[in-house]
């Protein structure tokens, strides 16, 4: 990841604050883009690169906290750093609980903000790579046939090939073949890896009663 | 015998009577016991939609209105409009098959096109050969031949043509019609219906279709429509991003924020703020279904039951008619106006007249007795009032308040200066250094510095005490001076304070400081009015607009506790206050300042919540006027 790939978005209704933050961020070689309102930010299509958002909390129209809610609703992963002239404790608690990265009070040290931005971007890079992994697994699991899917669920629940064969009324060797195909299609090398991958997709093994 | 004893006897007799009578009633009921009729209402939409809910309520209460009719009403929401696919369809059929395998249903009401399609195919398989009533839109009218003898089809639907002609009737000057339909399947169907039905409105109206928008953008657009516009709200199940919504909620927001009247198509929109239209009524539909169901279950032949048309009603919302100043004589014949606010006089003519007459006589006597006394007291009160109110204004504008706003307003430019300076340092420390960028940061410092000076200048001006003068005053000057003083207080109270200032406002004639005092009072007053309201959305809007009669109008609108209509006049009394801290705002002084300026001062209750204070100031017309 090179520095110039990173975008920092700045939202503040006060042009002075907006502009000075832009200068500061540019001075360390990052890209900065400013918006005068949360609405203007929401209406912009963001490029697909690592980024973070620095926003004022109190703005006319949509406030910073409302923007945070809206972004959560849209499943947007961008990390948020709030800046405020006079933050109250409950407000910062609420923001942090909803996943804000940090909460800075004006005036702050430049290094303080830059550190938080770096931390936020790292977090964003990690979250994005996780998302790509999940995307890949989703595509892989789609390629399983119905039968393979039927076998997959008992496998990750820890059933033995023999038990599965009995349950589905097929031979044990058929189950083995399916198992091998599943491992191949999901691109995993071990049973443990398979369980982890499936868990990432939000599917959890269920205890199946052997009736 | 004492009274208490008589009472005890009565109670005892009562108990004896009910002990004997109750078992008899039970026996009678057991002899004539008939199993309740089971009716299944199958709605096309998802559960939780107000329109369905009202139909269901109305259906249930109409069925229950006859105590001898015993029934069980099951309700299913097939939700197929959200999941139109085949797989979902076969799954819900499976579900119903499982659920109703042991329950014998006597009658099915399939409400909506999707339910109708489903029941045409599966009713017999799922429930056996029982009567089914289909409720469909006109476009899906079922031919008699398609239906078996125990099937009945009812037509419902919206009449967009009629609603269109109503809009034309009530808005003779209308030029633009904006049609809102959202992005759902139903929305698209309604939009294409509208394209057909509204063609007659052209060329008087230009018709625009507002779809493919996010909800916030829709709200933004409808708040800024050109003059002589109207909105026709069809539905809004989902926006362009695919988020799903409840249309009733959306219509409420649109009606609240739109700058043009909103018309609609179903009656549940009416209480959510539309002006009106030819509306499909949930209540009426529910009643009709109940009536038909009872007849069918009583054994009446379906052949005798006639087809039912949509039978929609033309309804209007009185408050909205008032809000948009729509002339009620323009409403089409047979219109029903709901939510009319009647005065006490209209409701209780006799009582009011009687009490008034009695009061008149009493007052007359009293007045004669104390008139002299009052005269003397009034003079005393008047001079005291003026003293108190002047004192109050200076208290509000106390040094503490001003020092606090000064600190707050200076914090912004100071913070910016610091950031700029640090950026400039970094640009210069870089190798190679970036002197151009550093220069930009330095010029930012200059701008921020200027702003700080401006803040100090404004506060100094607000503190100046000069005799009032009538000169040309820039309205923006009034606003910016007050903004500096009130912003901190608003933010402290977590109140969003918005200013909407029209472009190209002419200068007004008056005294800057006095006009600033009035506006300052109104805003501080609005802030205080809201501290008692436990609502998270505290808002004050200050609007500055050009009035037709050569004046500029400033409106301060809050969504606080609001002022009781009857008490509005009291507000101007010297000692009237609703606040614990006392005098409040010296509204009467504000009013007299405005009247001295030749303007008008008004208080109005907002139609939804809170209060609006407004005043006008004449436009400056030069020295010789």
**How far away is chain B from the Cα of A194, in angstroms, using its nearest Cα?**
29
**Residue A38: which pLDDT band, with cuts at 50, 70 and 90?**
very high
Residues B266, B285: Cα–Cα separation, whole Å: 11
Nearest alpha-carbon partner for B333 in B311, B317, B316, B308: B316
Poorest-pLDDT segment among A123-127, B19-23, B119-123: B19-23
pLDDT over threshold 90, residue B568: no
Residues B53, B578: Cα–Cα separation, whole Å: 41
Contact B422 A110 (CB under 8 A): yes
pLDDT over threshold 70, residue B291: yes
Nearest alpha-carbon partner for B296 in B113, B69, B467: B69
As a whole number, the mean pLDDT across chain B is 79
Contact A39 B241 (CB under 8 A): no
Nearest alpha-carbon partner for B262 in B319, B342, B312, B328: B319
Using an 8 Å Cβ cutoff, are B470 and B510 in contact?
A: yes
Residue A42 at interface with chain B, using a CB cutoff of 8 Å: yes
In A, which residues are within 8 Å of B451 by CB distance?
16
Secondary structure of B264-281 in the HEC alphabet?
CCEHHHHHHCCCEEEEEC
Kindly state the tokens that stand for A49.
């690169």
Residue A16 at interface with chain B, using a CB cutoff of 8 Å: yes
Q: What DSSP element (H or E) covers B510?
A: strand B508-510
Peptide bond into A127 cis (omega under 30): no
pLDDT over threshold 60, residue B114: yes
Residue A58 at interface with chain B, using a CB cutoff of 8 Å: yes
Kindly state the tokens that stand for B454.
């401006």
Kindly state the tokens that stand for B181.
């339909």
Q: Which residue has the tokens 């230009």?
A: B206
Contact A60 B415 (CB under 8 A): no
Pairing between strand B132-137 and B276-279? unpaired
Closest residue of A to B496, CA-based?
A60
Residues B494, B537: Cα–Cα separation, whole Å: 9
How confident is the model over B141-179, as pLDDT tens digits?
Answer: 565 556 667 777 777 788 888 889 899 888 888 899 999
In B, which residues are within 8 Å of A19 by CB distance?
416, 444
Residue pairs between chains A and B whose CB atoms are closer than 8 Å: 87
How confident is the model over A111-145, as pLDDT tens digits?
Answer: 999 999 999 999 888 888 888 888 888 888 888 88
Residues A64, A75: Cα–Cα separation, whole Å: 17
Q: Which residue has the tokens 């209308």?
A: B174
pLDDT over threshold 50, residue B15: no
Contact A60 B498 (CB under 8 A): yes
Poorest-pLDDT segment among A8-12, B48-52, B323-327: B48-52
Residues B600, B595: Cα–Cα separation, whole Å: 6
In B, which residues are within 8 Å of A39 by CB distance?
216, 220
Question: Which among B220, B420, B498 has the least Cβ separation from residue A23?
Answer: B420
pLDDT at B375: 73
As a whole number, the mean pLDDT across chain A is 85
**How far away is chain B from the Cα of A33, in angstroms, using its nearest Cα?**
16
Alpha-carbon distance values, B334 to B278, B315, B337 (Å): 11, 9, 10
Residue B82 CB contacts under 8 Å (≥ 6 apart), including other chains: B45, B46, B244
Using an 8 Å Cβ cutoff, are A17 and A82 in contact?
A: no
Poorest-pLDDT segment among A101-105, B254-258, B389-393, B593-597: B389-393
pLDDT at A209: 46
pLDDT at A80: 93
Question: Which among A27, A43, A60 has the least Cβ separation from residue B496?
Answer: A60
Pairing between strand B601-605 and B611-618? antiparallel
Q: How many CB atoms lie within 10 A of CB A208?
A: 14
Poorest-pLDDT segment among A103-107, B185-189, B299-303, B449-453: B299-303
**Residue B580: which pLDDT band, with cuts at 50, 70 and 90?**
very low
Contact A26 B216 (CB under 8 A): no
**How far away is chain A from the Cα of B533, in angstroms, using its nearest Cα?**
19
Kindly state the tokens that stand for B150.
């125990």
What residues are paired with B474 via a beta bridge?
A: none
In A, which residues are within 8 Å of B426 by CB distance?
24, 27-28, 110
Poorest-pLDDT segment among B208-217, B271-280, B481-490: B481-490
B243, B244, B413, B415, best to mutate vs chain A, most A CBs in 10 Å? B415
**How far away is chain B from the Cα of A161, in angstroms, using its nearest Cα?**
31
Residues B369, A174: Cα–Cα separation, whole Å: 112
Question: Which among B412, B422, B499 has the least Cβ separation from residue A16?
Answer: B412
Contact A107 B243 (CB under 8 A): no
Nearest alpha-carbon partner for B607 in B229, B170, B256, B225: B256
Residue B224 at interface with chain A, using a CB cutoff of 8 Å: no
Residue A146 at interface with chain B, using a CB cutoff of 8 Å: no
**Residue B29: which pLDDT band, with cuts at 50, 70 and 90?**
very low
pLDDT at B425: 92
Residues A158, A150: Cα–Cα separation, whole Å: 14
Contact B496 A63 (CB under 8 A): yes
Q: How many CB atoms lie within 10 A of CB B45?
A: 20
Using an 8 Å Cβ cutoff, are B205 and B168 in contact?
A: yes
Which ipTM score applies to this complex? 0.73
- Name the phi and psi angles at B118, rounded to 5: -60, -45
Question: Which among A20, A26, A43 has the least Cβ separation from residue B416?
Answer: A20
In B, which residues are within 8 Å of A61 by CB distance?
498
Residues A58, A54: Cα–Cα separation, whole Å: 13
**How far away is chain A from the Cα of B427, in angstroms, using its nearest Cα?**
5
pLDDT at A130: 85
Q: How many CB atoms lie within 10 A of CB A37?
A: 17
Kindly state the tokens that stand for A172.
């044990």
- What is the average pLDDT across B227-233? 92
Q: What DSSP element (H or E) covers A196?
A: helix A191-200
Residue B412 at interface with chain A, using a CB cutoff of 8 Å: yes
Residue A28 at interface with chain B, using a CB cutoff of 8 Å: yes
Q: pLDDT over 90 for what percent of chain A? A: 26
Q: Against a cut of 0.90, is the pTM above it?
A: no
Closest residue of B to A62, CA-based?
B496
Residue B161 burial (CB < 10 Å; 0-12/13-18/19+)?
Answer: middle
How confident is the model over A150-169, as pLDDT tens digits?
Answer: 888 888 888 888 988 888 88
Contact B437 A17 (CB under 8 A): no
Question: Which among B415, B451, B497 has the least Cβ separation from residue A107?
Answer: B415
Residue A106 at interface with chain B, using a CB cutoff of 8 Å: yes
Residue B447 at interface with chain A, using a CB cutoff of 8 Å: yes
B221, B245, B423, best to mutate vs chain A, most A CBs in 10 Å? B423
- What is the average pLDDT across B465-480? 76
Which of A43-57, B8-22, B374-388 reaches the highest mean pLDDT? A43-57
Residue A90 at interface with chain B, using a CB cutoff of 8 Å: no
Alpha-carbon distance values, B264 to B158, B166, B252, B568 (Å): 10, 11, 11, 34
Using an 8 Å Cβ cutoff, are B73 and B63 in contact?
A: yes
How confident is the model over B173-209, as pLDDT tens digits?
Answer: 889 999 999 888 888 888 988 988 888 888 888 999 9
Q: Which residue has the tokens 């043509």?
A: B161
């Amino acid at each position: 990841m090179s520095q110039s790939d990173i975008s920092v978005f700045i939202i503040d209704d006060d042009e002075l604050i907006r502009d000075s933050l832009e200068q500061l961020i540019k001075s360390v070689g990052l890209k900065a883009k400013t918006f005068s309102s949360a609405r203007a930010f929401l209406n912009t299509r963001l490029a697909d690169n690592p980024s973070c958002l620095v926003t004022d909390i109190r703005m006319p129209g949509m406030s910073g906290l409302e923007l945070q809610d809206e972004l959560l609703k849209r499943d947007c992963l961008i990390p948020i750093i709030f800046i405020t002239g006079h933050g109250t404790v409950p407000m910062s608690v609420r923001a942090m609980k909803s996943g804000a990265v940090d909460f800075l009070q004006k005036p702050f040290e430049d290094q303080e903000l830059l550190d938080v931005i770096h931390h936020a971007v790292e977090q964003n890079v990690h979250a994005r790579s996780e998302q790509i992994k999940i995307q890949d697994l989703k595509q892989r699991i789609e390629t399983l046939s119905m039968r393979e899917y039927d076998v997959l669920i008992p496998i990750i629940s820890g059933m033995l090939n023999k038990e599965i064969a009995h349950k589905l009324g097929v031979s044990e060797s058929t189950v083995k073949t399916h198992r091998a195909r599943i491992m191949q299609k999901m691109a995993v090398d071990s049973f443990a890896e398979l369980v982890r991958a499936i868990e990432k997709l939000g599917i959890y093994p269920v205890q199946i009663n052997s009736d | 015998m004492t009274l208490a004893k008589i009472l005890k006897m009565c109670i005892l007799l009562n108990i004896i009577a009910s002990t004997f009578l109750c078992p008899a009633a039970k026996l009678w009921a057991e002899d004539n016991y008939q199993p309740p009729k089971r009716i299944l209402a199958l709605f096309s939409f998802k559960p939780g939609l107000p329109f369905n809910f009202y139909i269901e309520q109305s259906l249930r209460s109409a069925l229950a209105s006859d105590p001898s009719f015993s029934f069980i009403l099951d309700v299913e929401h097939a939700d197929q409009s959200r999941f139109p696919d085949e797989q979902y369809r076969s799954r819900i059929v499976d579900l119903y098959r499982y659920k109703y395998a042991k329950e014998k249903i006597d009658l099915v009401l399939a409400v909506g096109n999707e339910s109708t399609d489903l029941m045409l195919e599966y009713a017999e398989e799922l429930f056996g050969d029982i009567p089914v009533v289909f409720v469909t839109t006109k476009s899906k009218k079922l031919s008699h031949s398609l239906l078996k003898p125990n099937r009945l089809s009812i037509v419902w639907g919206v009449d967009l043509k009629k609603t269109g002609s109503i809009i034309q009737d009530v808005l003779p000057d209308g030029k633009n019609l904006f049609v809102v339909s959202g992005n759902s399947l139903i929305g698209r169907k309604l939009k294409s219906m509208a394209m057909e039905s509204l063609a007659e409105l052209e060329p008087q109206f230009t018709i625009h279709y507002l779809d493919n928008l996010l909800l916030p953008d829709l709200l933004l657009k409808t708040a800024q429509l050109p003059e002589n516009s109207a909105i026709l709200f069809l539905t809004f199940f989902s926006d362009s991003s695919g988020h799903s919504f409840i249309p009733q909620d959306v219509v409420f927001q649109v009606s609240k924020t739109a700058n043009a009247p909103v018309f609609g198509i179903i009656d549940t929109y009416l209480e959510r703020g539309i002006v009106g239209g030819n509306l499909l009524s949930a209540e009426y539909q529910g009643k009709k279904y109940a009536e038909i169901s009872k007849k069918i279950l009583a054994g009446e032949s379906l052949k005798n039951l006639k087809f039912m048309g949509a039978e929609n009603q033309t309804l209007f919302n009185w408050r909205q008619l008032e809000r948009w100043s729509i002339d009620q004589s323009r409403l089409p014949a047979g219109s029903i106006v709901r939510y009319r606010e009647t005065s006490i006089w209209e409701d209780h003519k006799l009582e009011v007249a009687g009490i008034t007459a009695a009061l008149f006589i009493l007052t007359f006597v009293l007045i004669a007795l104390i008139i002299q006394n009052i005269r003397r007291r009034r003079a005393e009160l008047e001079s005291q009032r003026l003293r108190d109110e002047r004192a109050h204004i200076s208290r509000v504008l106390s040094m503490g308040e001003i020092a606090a706003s000064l600190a707050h307003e200076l914090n912004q430019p100071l913070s910016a200066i610091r950031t700029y300076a640090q950026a400039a340092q970094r640009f210069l420390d870089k190798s190679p250094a970036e002197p151009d960028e550093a220069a930009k940061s330095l010029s930012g410092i200059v701008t921020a510095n200027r702003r700080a000076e401006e803040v100090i200048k404004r506060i100094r001006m607000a503190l100046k005490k000069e005799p009032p003068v009538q000169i040309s005053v820039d309205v923006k000057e009034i606003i910016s001076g007050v903004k500096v003083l009130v912003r901190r207080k608003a933010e402290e109270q977590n109140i969003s304070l918005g200013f909407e200032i029209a472009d190209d406002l002419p200068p007004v004639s008056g005294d800057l400081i006095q006009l600033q005092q009035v506006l300052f009072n109104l805003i501080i007053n609005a802030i205080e009015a809201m501290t008692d309201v436990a609502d998270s959305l505290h808002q004050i809007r200050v609007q500055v607009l050009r009035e037709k009669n050569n004046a500029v109008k400033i409106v301060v609108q809050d969504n606080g506790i609001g002022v009781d209509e009857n008490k509005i006049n009291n507000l101007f009394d010297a000692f009237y206050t609703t606040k614990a801290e006392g005098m409040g705002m010296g509204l009467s002084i504000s009013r007299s300042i405005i009247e001295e300026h030749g303007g008008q001062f008004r208080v109005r209750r907002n139609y939804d919540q809170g209060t609006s204070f407004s005043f006008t100031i004449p436009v400056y017309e030069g020295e010789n006027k």
